[in-house]
Amino acid sequence: MSVYTELSLDEIRAFAADHYGLAVTGCEPIASGIENTNYFVRGDDGREFVLTLFEELNAAEAAFLPPLLQHLHRQGVPVAGPLTAKDGRSLLTLRDKPVQLAPRILGGHPSPVSTAHCAAIGEALAKLHLALEEYPLHRDNAHGQEWWEAEANKARKAMNKTDQLLLETILEDFEETVEDYEDLPMGLIHGDLFRDNTLFEGDELRAILDFSEAGEDYWLLDIAITINDFCSAWPSVKLDQDLYHAFLRAYNNLRPLTADEQEALPAFLGMAATRFWLSRLSVAARNAAEGRSGEAVTQKDPNEMKRMVAARMMGE
Ligand X SMILES: Nc1ncnc2c1ncn2[C@@H]1O[C@H](COP(=O)(O)OP(=O)(O)OP(=O)(O)O)[C@@H](O)[C@H]1O
Considering the complex, state which of residue 28 and residue 146 has its C-beta at the smaller distance from ligand X. 28
Please tell me the distance from the alpha carbon of residue 207 to that of residue 273, in angstroms, as a whole number.
23
Q: Give the range of 12-20, 72-80, 123-131, 274-282 binding ligand HSE by CB under 6 A.
A: 274-282
With beta carbons less than 8 A apart as the criterion, state whether 77 and 135 touch: no
CB of 279 to ligand HSE, least distance (A): 6
Q: Which residue, among 98, 68, 114, 76, has the nearest Cα to 240 in the 3D structure?
A: 114
* Close Cβ partners of 288 (under 8 Å, ≥ 6 residues apart): none
Please tell me the distance from the alpha carbon of residue 1 to that of residue 30, in angstroms, as a whole number.
7
Considering the complex, state which of residue 43 and residue 185 has its C-beta at the smaller distance from ligand X. 43
State the CB neighbour count (10 A cutoff) for residue 285.
14
CB of 212 to ligand HSE, least distance (A): 7
CB of 11 to ligand HSE, least distance (A): 26
Which residue is closest to ligand X by CB? 33
Q: Is 300 in the site for ligand HSE (CB under 6 A)?
A: yes
State the CB neighbour count (10 A cutoff) for residue 204.
12
Q: Which residue, among 301, 230, 237, 223, has the nearest Cα to 267 in the 3D structure?
A: 223
Q: Give the range of 21-29, 70-78, 247-255, 276-284 binding ligand HSE by CB under 6 A.
A: 276-284
- Which partner from the list ligand HSE, ligand X, none does 312 bind, CB cut-off 5 to 8 Å by kind? none
- Which partner from the list ligand X, ligand HSE, none does 80 bind, CB cut-off 5 to 8 Å by kind? ligand X
- Which partner from the list ligand X, ligand HSE, none does 156 bind, CB cut-off 5 to 8 Å by kind? none
Question: How distant, in Å, are the alpha carbons of 54, 66, 86, 91, 160 from that of 60?
Answer: 11, 12, 20, 10, 39
- Residue 58 has phi, psi (to 5 degrees) of -80, 180
Q: Is 54 in the site for ligand HSE (CB under 6 A)?
A: no
Helix (H) or strand (E) holding 71: helix 65-74
- Which partner from the list ligand HSE, ligand X, none does 276 bind, CB cut-off 5 to 8 Å by kind? ligand HSE
| Dihedral angle over CA of 142, 144, 146, 152, nearest 10 | 110
Cα–Cα–Cα angle for 243, 212, 303, rounded to 5 degrees: 55
Among 7, 12, 22, 34, indicate the residue that binds ligand HSE (CB under 6 A): 34
For β-strands 186-189 and 97-103, DSSP reports them as: unpaired
With beta carbons less than 8 A apart as the criterion, state whether 174 and 267 touch: yes
- Which partner from the list ligand HSE, ligand X, none does 122 bind, CB cut-off 5 to 8 Å by kind? none
Number of residues in contact with ligand HSE, rule: CB under 6 A? 8
Q: Interface residues for ligand HSE in 280-299 (CB under 6 A)?
A: 280
CB of 84 to ligand HSE, least distance (A): 27
CB of 177 to ligand HSE, least distance (A): 23
Q: Interface residues for ligand HSE in 166-195 (CB under 6 A)?
A: 192, 194
Give the chain's radius of gyration (CA, Å): 20
Q: Is 276 in the site for ligand HSE (CB under 6 A)?
A: yes
CB of 298 to ligand HSE, least distance (A): 9
With beta carbons less than 8 A apart as the criterion, state whether 245 and 151 touch: no
Contact positions toward ligand X, by CB under 6 A? 2, 30, 32-36, 38, 50, 80, 102, 104-105, 192, 196-197, 199, 209-210, 212
- Which stretches of the chain bind ligand HSE, using CB under 6 A? 34-35, 192, 194, 276, 279-280, 300
